[in-house]
Structure 1
Amino acid sequence: MGYMNDTRGLLLTTCPSSIDHYVQNLTSSYSNKSNESSVVATSVFMLVLAAVFFNLNLFSRVSNTSAVLNPTARAVLNSALNLFLPVMSYLFSEAKNTPDGGADLPVRARLILTWMLLVELLRKKVEAILVTAGMQQGYSNIITHANAVAWLGYLAFFNLKVAGRVAVFGTLWLLCAAKFVQRVAFTEIGKRSLAYGKNARLLSSYMAEMVKDPRHGGTAVQDQDLSPLQRMKMCKYVVMGEENLMLKPGPHGYELDLDRLNTTYDDGDHIVTVGKIWELVEQEKKPRLKRLQRLSLSFALFKLLRPRFELLPAMTKQETDHCRDLIFQGLCRVSDGDVDPGVALFQVLKDEISFVSEYYHSVHPVVLASPYFFVINYITFPVVVLVLCFMTIALAGNGDMLLAFHSVGDDNYAISSGIFTLTKCLWKNFLRKPAAFFAIIDISITYLLFIAFVYEEVWEYMVFVFSNWFMVSLLCTYTARRRWQESKTYRGTLRRIAWISSKLSHPSRVTLKQFSVLRVSWLSMTLPTTSLPTQAKRSIMERFRSAAYGRDGFPAPLSNGRYVLYSMQRYSRLSWFCDTQSVAEVIITWHIATSLLEMTYPGHRKGGTSPTDHHRAVATKLSKYCSYLVVFHPELLPDDRECTERVYEDMKTGLKEALGSWNYHLGSENARYTKMMATNQDKLRSDCWDNTMTMVQKGIVLGNVLVVEANGDYGAVWKLLADLWVELIVYVAPSSGDEHVKWHEEALVLGGELITLLWALATHTGVTRPPSTSLVVMPVGEDVEEGVRPCV
C-alpha cells in the first residue's frame, strides 16, 4: 500500500489540494506495514458496529414504539462494547504516535476519539434502566462507566491543544458525562422512591389493609349485589399517589392511612384509584377515552403483579378473591358495544404485561414518566447541558467566545471545508483511488454513529410521549386536578395523545408463534406468527371464569383435557390419550392429531365466518402455539424442564421413525402428512389403544380416529378440539413457584408470550391446577392382552 504515500501528485482527482492532504493524513495508518492489518480490522469492526446501531435505531423502530430492546441484540452489543474501549484506546495510542505534520493529534487519532465518544453516547442503548433496588447489581457497572467517561475526558483534554478541537471534543465529552449522570440519577432516585423502587412492598401493605376495610372497597362491599359498572367505579386499586398513604415503616410492611384515599386537597386528589378514573371517564362520555379506563386497570394490576417478580409474599386468598370478582364480575361484564368482553380482558392483560416488561427491561426512562419529569428531563436538562456546552467552548477559547466559535471551523478541517463537499469529493474518487475508498469508509462510520445518536434522542422523546406510562400519568393528573379538567387545551392534548398511542401500540392484538410437526422449521425466528382469534379470547375468559366460580353449580377444575372429553360423552373414550402426568406428552399427541385432521380437510381454510370455521381456527392456532411452547419454551410449562425436554427428544425420535430421515429433514408438509397417515397401519389400528405405542404413534392413531369422526360430524369434532385446546392452554397457565416466575420474567423481554398473559390472570384471580395424583388404571377383561385396551 505504499502508493498511498505517493507525494508526487494528487491522490484524488478533481479535488482541492487541501482535501488531498487531509485524506493522506487520514489514511496514512493503512500504509504502515506494522499495524496495517489491525487498522483494517478495526475499521471493519467499527463499520459493522455502526451499521448495527444504525439499524436498531432506524429500521427496527418503524412500527415498534416499545422501550424494550431485543435481548439478543443487547447481548451482542454488550459483548462488543466491553472490548471496544480497551481496543480503541490501544489504536488511539498507535495513531497518536503517527506524525502528520501538525502540532496537535493526527487526523486518524482524532477520528478514533470521535468514534469512542459517539459509541459512549450510544451505550445507553444496551442498558436497562433499573429503578428497583432488588434488581441492582451493586455499583460495579456505575464505577465501570464512570471510569470510561473519565478516561475519554483525559484523552480529549490532555491530548488536544488547539482551541477549536478542544471545543468540539470537549462538547462531545460533556454530552457523554451528562448522559452518564442522567442515568445514575434515574436509577438512584428511582430505587429509593416509594412510587417506584419500594412500591411493591408498599402495595402489598396497602392491599392487605384495603381488602379488610369495607369503607374502601373491601370484602363487605364486594359481596353486595352491584352492577359491573358500579363495581368498577368503587374499585380502590391505586393507580398513582399511593406513597402519600404511608405513615411510617412498620415491622411487617408499611403503616398506612387509608382515610386519605378520599381526602381532597386544594389542587385535587393526590391519590388516584381505578374507580375515580372510571367514574370521570363515564362523566366525560367520550368513547375514545374508554380504553383509558382499561389502561388504568392494567397499570394497577401491574403494580399488584410486581411482588411476584421481586420475591415478596404472594397475594392472599382474600386479595385474589377480591381481584377475581373485579375482573370477572366487573371488567368482563361492563357493557361496551364496541369491544368484546374477551377482547377487553386481553387488552388489559397485554397492557399489564407491557408495563411489567418495560419496568424491568426498558432502555428509555418511560417508567418515570409524568408531566413534571417531562419538563425536567426534556426541557430543563437539555437547557442546562446547552449552557455547559457554551461554557466549554468559552473555556477552550480562554473566555473569548467569538474566537472560540471561529476556531471551531478553522481548526477542524472537516467542518471548515464542508461535510458535504468532502463527502462528494470522496465519492467521486471512491472506485478509482484507494485512498478515497478507505477514507469514505472511515467517514461513513462517523456518519452512521452520529445519525444513530441523533435518531436515538428523537426516538426516545417519541417513545416517552406516546408511551402508556406517560398516558397513565396524564390521565391521573387530569383526574386529580379539577382545574385541568376544565382546561380545553389539556383535555384536547390528552385525547390526541391517547388516539395516537392506541394507533401505535395495537393493545388488543396478541401474537402467537406457530410450530407444526408437519413443517421443517426448527428455529424460532423462522416460525410463522398469527393473532389470537377473538373466539379464543372469549373461550379462554369463560374457562377461567368457570374454573374460578364453577359451572352450573358444580366445580369445574382444570384438567389436561379429560374434563372436556368427559363433558362430551360421545368422546369420553378418547380420554385414554390424556392418561399421562406429563402435559407435554398430551400436547404433542393431540397436536399431531389436530395437524393430521387439518391436512385431511384442506378446503376449510381461515377466513370463514361459520361457528365451525371459528372452532377450527381456535384449535389449530392454539395447537401450534402449545407445541411451540414444548419445543422452544419448556421452562414455561408446569412440567419440570428436563421432563419437557425429554418429551421433545422422544418426539423427534418418533418422527424420524415414522417419516424416515429424508422426510424428517427435508420433506414437504404434504409428504410428511402422507407418510404419517400410511405409517405402520397394521399396528396402529384405530379400534384399540396400545400402551406400548410411542407418543407420535398415539398422535397418528388419534388423528385417524378424529378423521373418521369428522366424516360423520365435522363441526362437532372441531368444537371438541377447540374446547380441548382452550382447556390445555388454561391448564398450563397457573404457576406459583419462584422458578417459573423467573422464567416468565425473562420471557417478557422477548415481547411476552400468551402463556405469560394467562399466568398473570391466574395469579390475580387465584385460579390453580388441582394437585397431581397418580393415574387410576381401569381394569380390563381377561380376554384382552396385557397393555392393550379396546375402544369402548
Structure 2
Amino acid sequence: MELDGYCFALRSELDIRGINATLALWSNRTRDFWKSPRVTFIRIEGLVVAAAIMVLFLAIFGSWRRKRRSLFIQKGVLGAYILSSSLVTYLLGSMQSSVVKSSMYPIWAVSLYTLIGCADSITAYSLDDNKELSRQLYQFGLNTAYVLFLIFTVSSNNGYIPVALLGLIAEIKFSHRLSASQVASVSWNLNKMVADYMYQEHSKSEPAYDPASMKGYHYLVDWPLRSDSELEAGILCASDLKADAQVIHIEKVWQCKHRSLSEELKYTCLSFSLFHLLRRRFFGFECSESSFQPKTHDFVFKGLLLLKNEDGVISYNQAFKVIEVELAFMYDFFFTKYAAVYYGSWHRTFMPVASACLVPVIAYLTVSRVLKIPSGMERGTVLDTTRADVVITVAILVCIALLEVLQVLYYWTTIWGRVSLACQYVREQAQNKQRGCCMRFKEILAKIGASMSNERYFEGKLGQYSLLEESVSWYHNLSKHYFVNTIVEKVMASTDPMIYHPYNYHPWREVRKHIRVPEEVKEAVVQSLERTDGKLTNGASSLEHNRASHLSWACRDSESIVSCPQKKENQACCILTWHIATCYSEMATLKHFPASVGGELKVHFDVATTLSKYCAYLVVSQPKLLPGHHYDTRRVFEAVAKEALGFLGDNKDKYEAMRSLVVEGETPEPKETIFHKGVRLGKRLGTMEEGARWKVLADFWAEMLLYVAPLDNVKEHFECLTRGGEFVTYLWALVSHAGILKREDHLVGVGGV
C-alpha cells in the first residue's frame, strides 16, 4: 500500500514537472514569436492602420457631435481625438527605435502626419484646446523632427522623392490646422475691426432705417483683410471699411438683384453677419449697437421675427433658422478648419486640390522606387515588403487623396461656401463681371448644399427632467447601493479632499430624456417676447397680464440656501417652486380631466409642462447656463430633491400625498421650504378654471425662459454647441441681437428679485 502511494506521488510530481516544462516552452515560444521581426513589423503595421482609422473617423464624424448626443458619437470622437495624436507620436518613436526596419516606415509616418492635418471637420474638441498653441507648436516641431530623422535613417536613396513630396504636403496641412486654432483663439484684430465698425455705424445719425428691407443696417458680411491694418487712436481702420467698395454688408446683400442670389443665400448672409456680432462677446469687445435703441430693438422685433418662409408666409421658424445657422457658423469657427479656409488666402482652397493630384504620383513612386531593401543599413533587421504592405500603404494614400478632394467639394456646399458665393454675386453686380467656369461649378455645389439646408445643424431637442419622478427614483436606487457609494465617496475624498466635494460628483445629473422642440413652444416664447417688448421679468409680467398677480409671491426669493451675494441673480428657487406646482397641476389635470385636454387647453398644457421640465433640466444638468453661481443652483436642487424624497417616500400616488399636505394662509411663511411653497402654489392654481390655469403656467414659463437667457456666460453657451446645443442658447443669441445683454437692463415688476 505504501509503495503504491509512493508511486502515485512520484507520477504526480513528474506530471507537474512536465506541465511546468510545457508551460515554460510555450511561454518562451510565445515571447520569441512576439519579438520576431515579422510580428514586430505586423504590430507596427496594425497600429498604423488603427491610427489611420481614428483620423478618418474624426474627419467623418467630427462635426456630428453637434447633431447627436449619443454615447457613440460623443465619446467616440473624444477617444479618437485624444488617441490619434498620441498614437501617431508613439508610432514615430517605435519606427525609429525598432531594430526591425522597413522601407514602408517613412511613407507610413508622413502619411499619418498628413492625415492628422487633413481632418477639416475637427481641429479642437473644446474651446480650451484652441488656447494651447504653444503645445501644438511643440508637437508640430517634435513630429517634424521625428519624421525627418526617420527619413534620413530608414529611407533608401530611391525613396527620398516620394517621401519628401508627401512630407511637404504634411507640413502645409498641419500649418493650416495650426492657423485654424490661431484664428479661433487670438484673432483680436478681426473682432476689434467689427467692434469699431459697429461703434461708428451706430454713433452717426442715421436718416432712416427699415428692418423689413434691411435698409440702414450695415452689419458686416464680408470685407478685405489687409495685412497692413494698424491701430490708430484705438480705432482699427473702421473708416476705411466704410469707404471700401469691397466691403459687403447686409443691406447690400438684401438690395442685390442678381438672379442667382436666392432668399436662402440672403438668409445665410444674414446669419453670417450676426455671427460676427455675437463672436465679439467671446473676445470681450463691447456690443455698441445694444446702446442705440430703437434701431437695434426694431431689427429683431420688426425684422428678424417677421421673416418669411419659402411660401412667403411670416414664420417664427425662419427667425430660429437664421439663429441656428448663426450658431453653426460659431461652432465651425471654434472647432473646425472652415473659418481658416474662408479668411485665408486663395491657396487654402487650391492646396487640397494640388495635394490630391500629387498623391497618385507619390503612390506610383512608392510602388516603383521605395519597395526595395534600403541600402546602407548596417544595424537592425531589414524586412522585405509584402503585397499586403503595399496594399495597406496605397490604401492610406488613396484615403488621403479622396479626403482632400471630398473636403474641397464639401466646403463649397457648406454655409461658408454659400456665403462666399453670395458675396461674389454682389461684387459681380457692382462690377458687371461675367461668371466663369469655376463660378458655375461652385453654383452647382452651393445648390446641392442649399437643397440640404432643411437639415438640422444641431440636435434641436429639449432635455426633460421631472423632479417628482426622477429624483425620487434616483434616491431609491442610491439607497440600494448605499454601501458601494459610501466607499467610492470616501476613496475619492481621501485622494484630494481639497478638490473633491460630494456636489462635484453626480452621475445622476445626466438626463437621458430629450424631445424635439415643439412648434408651440417656439411660438409661445416669441409671443412672450413680443408681448413684453423685450422688458423681461421672471414671470411677474405674465401673471399681471393674466390677472394672476396674487401669485407673484412665488416669483420672489426668500430661500436662505443661496448665498447673499448671489440671491439677486439665482433663479433656482423660483424655477423649482413653479416646477413643483406645474407637476402638481399636471397630475391633477390628467387624473380629473383626462378627456378634456384638447384644443387650446392642450397647447397651453404642452407648452407649460415641456418648458417646466426643460427649466428643471437646466437646473440639474446645465446650471452654468442659468443666472447665479452654479454651485448655489446645485445646493438648492439637492435640498429640494431630498425634501421631496422625505415627504413622498414610498407613496404610489404622489398627487394624493401632495394634496394631503396642509397649507394655511394665502402666502407662505418666511421660512417655508421650496417644496412646500411649490405645493402651496399648485393648490392655489387648482382653484382657477382649467383653461386659465394652464394659460397662466404656459405664459409664465415662456417668460421665465426668456428672463434667464441674457447673461455673459458666452463660453458655456459655445461649449454646449458641441453637445447638440441648447434651446436657451438660441434665445440668448436672439435677445442679444435685440440689444438685451443683461437682465438688469430690462428688469421690471419683480419685487424682491
Task: Specify the TM-score bucket, using the shorter chain as the normaliser.
Answer: 0.7 to 0.9
Given that 2:604 and 2:694 are in contact with CA atoms closer than 8 Å, whether structure 1 keeps it comes out as yes
Given that 1:30 and 1:39 are in contact with CA atoms closer than 8 Å, whether structure 2 keeps it comes out as no
Q: Map of 1:348-367 to 2, 5 A cutoff?
A: 348-364=322-338
How far did residue 621 of structure 1 move? 2.1
| 2:681 corresponds to 1:702 | yes
Matching residue within 582, 588, 601 for 1:594: 582
SS in 2 for 1:253: coil
Determine the C-alpha separation between the residues in 1 that align with 2:694 and 2:424. 49
Would the alpha carbon gap of residues 252 and 197 (structure 1) be closer, same or farther in structure 2, given more than 3 Å must change?
A: closer
Aligned equivalent of 1:515: 465
Matching residue within 452, 465, 490 for 1:503: 452
| 2:352 corresponds to 1:378 | yes
Given that 1:588 and 1:627 are in contact with CA atoms closer than 8 Å, whether structure 2 keeps it comes out as yes
How far did residue 295 of structure 1 move? 1.7
How far did residue 381 of structure 1 move? 4.9
Q: Map of 1:170-185 to 2, 5 A cutoff?
A: 173-184=167-178
How far did residue 449 of structure 1 move? 7.4
Per-residue CA distance 1:646-689 (angstroms, 9 max, x = gap): 112213312321343xx6xxxxxxx77x2354158243579763
Q: Map of 1:24-423 to 2, 5 A cutoff?
A: 30-32=33-35, 53=55, 55-58=57-60, 75-81=78-84, 83-84=86-87, 87-88=90-91, 91-92=94-95, 96-97=98-99, 105=101, 114=108, 117-118=111-112, 121-122=115-116, 125=119, 128=123, 136-161=131-156, 163=158, 173-184=167-178, 198-214=189-205, 218=206, 220-222=207-209, 226=210, 228-230=211-213, 232-241=214-223, 243=225, 249-257=231-239, 261=243, 269-280=245-256, 284=259, 289-319=262-292, 321-334=294-307, 337-364=311-338, 368=342, 372=346, 375-383=349-357, 412-414=385-387, 419=391
Determine the C-alpha separation between the residues in 1 that align with 2:655 and 2:38. 61
Q: Which runs of 5+ in 1 are unaligned?
A: 7-26, 99-104, 264-268, 399-409, 420-442, 550-556, 664-670, 778-792
Q: Which runs of 5+ in 2 are unaligned?
A: 1-22, 373-382, 475-506, 558-567
Q: Map of 1:744-755 to 2, 5 A cutoff?
A: 744-755=717-728
Determine the C-alpha separation between the residues in 2 that align with 1:462 and 1:493. 9
Given that 1:367 and 1:469 are in contact with CA atoms closer than 8 Å, whether structure 2 keeps it comes out as no
Aligned equivalent of 2:537: 559
Determine the C-alpha separation between the residues in 1 that align with 2:519 and 2:156. 67
How far did residue 62 of structure 1 move? 7.7
Determine the C-alpha separation between the residues in 1 that align with 2:598 and 2:201. 46
Determine the C-alpha separation between the residues in 2 that align with 1:655 and 1:52. 46
SS in 2 for 1:379: helix
Given that 1:371 and 1:473 are in contact with CA atoms closer than 8 Å, whether structure 2 keeps it comes out as no
Q: Map of 1:343-742 to 2, 5 A cutoff?
A: 343-364=317-338, 368=342, 372=346, 375-383=349-357, 412-414=385-387, 419=391, 456-457=403-404, 460-482=407-429, 487=435, 490=439, 494=443, 497-498=446-447, 500-501=449-450, 503-504=452-453, 505-506=455-456, 510-517=460-467, 518-519=469-470, 527-548=512-533, 557-569=535-547, 571-580=548-557, 581=568, 582-602=570-590, 610-660=599-649, 674-675=653-654, 677-679=656-658, 681-684=660-663, 689-707=668-686, 709=688, 713-736=689-712, 740-742=713-715
Determine the C-alpha separation between the residues in 2 that align with 1:625 and 1:641. 17
How far did residue 5 of structure 1 move? 10
Aligned equivalent of 1:756: 729
Determine the C-alpha separation between the residues in 2 that align with 1:720 and 1:529. 25
Determine the C-alpha separation between the residues in 1 that align with 2:456 and 2:123. 24
**Which amino acid is the alignment partner of residue 251 of structure 1?**
A
Would the alpha carbon gap of residues 44 and 344 (structure 1) be closer, same or farther in structure 2, given more than 3 Å must change?
A: same
How far did residue 766 of structure 1 move? 2.1
Determine the C-alpha separation between the residues in 2 that align with 1:680 and 1:721. 19
Determine the C-alpha separation between the residues in 2 that align with 1:5 and 1:514. 59
Determine the C-alpha separation between the residues in 2 that align with 1:494 and 1:621. 42
Aligned equivalent of 1:437: none
How far did residue 327 of structure 1 move? 2.2
Determine the C-alpha separation between the residues in 1 that align with 2:254 and 2:748. 44
SS in 2 for 1:639: coil
Identity %: 22
How far did residue 644 of structure 1 move? 0.9
Q: How many residues end up aligned between the 2 structures?
A: 660
Determine the C-alpha separation between the residues in 1 that align with 2:344 and 2:692. 53
SS in 2 for 1:727: helix
Would the alpha carbon gap of residues 71 and 141 (structure 1) be closer, same or farther in structure 2, given more than 3 Å must change?
A: farther
Determine the C-alpha separation between the residues in 1 that align with 2:549 and 2:585. 19
Would the alpha carbon gap of residues 122 and 4 (structure 1) be closer, same or farther in structure 2, given more than 3 Å must change?
A: farther
- RMSD over aligned CA atoms reads 4.9
Given that 1:317 and 1:766 are in contact with CA atoms closer than 8 Å, whether structure 2 keeps it comes out as yes
Given that 1:686 and 1:704 are in contact with CA atoms closer than 8 Å, whether structure 2 keeps it comes out as no
Determine the C-alpha separation between the residues in 1 that align with 2:249 and 2:750. 48
Per-residue CA distance 1:198-243 (angstroms, 9 max, x = gap): 22111111112222334xxx2x323xxx5x534x144222211265
Determine the C-alpha separation between the residues in 1 that align with 2:345 and 2:51. 35
Determine the C-alpha separation between the residues in 2 that align with 1:75 and 1:241. 36
How far did residue 74 of structure 1 move? 5.8
Determine the C-alpha separation between the residues in 1 that align with 2:594 and 2:323. 29
Determine the C-alpha separation between the residues in 2 that align with 1:449 and 1:359. 29
Determine the C-alpha separation between the residues in 1 that align with 2:36 and 2:582. 66
Aligned equivalent of 1:552: none
How far did residue 758 of structure 1 move? 1.8
SS in 1 for 2:733: helix
Per-residue CA distance 1:167-221 (angstroms, 9 max, x = gap): 77666545433422443465679999xxx6622111111112222334xxx2x32
Given that 1:478 and 1:484 are in contact with CA atoms closer than 8 Å, whether structure 2 keeps it comes out as no
SS in 2 for 1:530: strand
How far did residue 468 of structure 1 move? 0.8
Per-residue CA distance 1:347-403 (angstroms, 9 max, x = gap): 1211112212211222455652799467423334544677778788898699xxxxx
Would the alpha carbon gap of residues 605 and 293 (structure 1) be closer, same or farther in structure 2, given more than 3 Å must change?
A: farther
How far did residue 474 of structure 1 move? 0.4
